[in-house]
Amino acid sequence: MYAVEMINYGDLDVLTDTQTAQRPEIKSKQVLVQQHATAIDPYDVKFRQGLMGTDKPTPLIPGSSVSGQVIAVGDEVENFSIGDRVAASTHLKSYAQYVAVSQSLLAKIPDNVSYETAAATVLGAQTGYQMVTVDLDIQPGESVLIHGGAGSVGSAAIQAARLRGAQTIYTTASSTATAYLRAIDSQVQVIDYRTTALTQALPEGVDVILDTIGGDTLLQQSLTVLKPQGRLVSLVEDATDQRVQHSYLQSNGQRLETLLGLVSVGKISIKIAQVAPFDAENMKQFQTLKHVLGKLVLTFD
């Protein structure tokens, strides 16, 4: 089958096209998905660079987002059938024409949601949605600060927090991202991290903070504006402060299906910056782009 392989860890040159990758065989609780779209996520870039560890032997097929059609099902699979449009976030192996996916990760894609939008949703937006609804469990009336609101995790978290009834939502971003963020949520309060200190912008503090950026300095600054009984979840840092929890995406098909349902009725918006055909050259080009507003998606059609 056709795939993009990583022949080693390192710079962009380690990504290469192959026509001879082995088509996966499914286990009893897996389905085989024929890919229609996959997204470029920051995790994929860091993994290729070796920043997420180098224990997986190469060559390997990287990639974290599946969006396609079921073409085979294992004998213990329930609720999924051949022909279903499905999406999932997998750990590796999605940069390929066919992907074996556990049924526990799978979500059905609503009819009015494109494969491209589903691919753009499964990792970053699912992470943001999980952080707000599970890890932080934001309650009506709470004040919320989301670092990196212009990213895929942050933008989904802003919208999910609004749906949960957050009273005031603040986000850190550059001034150039303000219009983009206001198009997502007209009431979000944007703090330009380059010019404004958190203590200046938030003198009364906030109840909840989601840190998608990381760095010890940012974490310490965040703690100065977190209320004494507040909660902070970081995707990248840990701390001894009992108010801080380090977390990560625990991909869940049922939760992803709920999220895709919100996308289908317009309650959560997923922005796509650019779409290109799936191949190694386009993947390399997309992985060089920085500070992109919206997702970068590769299509197999």
Identify the pLDDT of residue 291.
86
pLDDT at residue 301 greater than cutoff 80: no
Burial class (CB in 10 A: 0-12, 13-18, 19+), 34: middle
Residue with tokens 């180098």: 54
Could you read off the pLDDT of 206-238 as tens digits, one per residue? 999 999 998 888 999 999 999 999 999 999 888
User: Looking at residue 20, what is its pLDDT?
Assistant: 95
How far apart CA 163 and CA 285 sit, in angstroms, is 35
Q: For residue range 249-294, what is the model confidence (pLDDT) as tens digits?
A: 999 999 999 999 999 999 999 999 999 999 999 999 999 998 899 9
Number of neighbours of residue 133 by Cβ within 10 angstroms: 18
The average pLDDT across 152-168 equals 97
Sign of CA dihedral 71, 75, 81, 85: negative
| pLDDT number for residue 195 | 92
What pLDDT was estimated at residue 130?
A: 98
- pTM of the shown model: 0.96
Q: Determine the pLDDT at residue 180.
A: 95
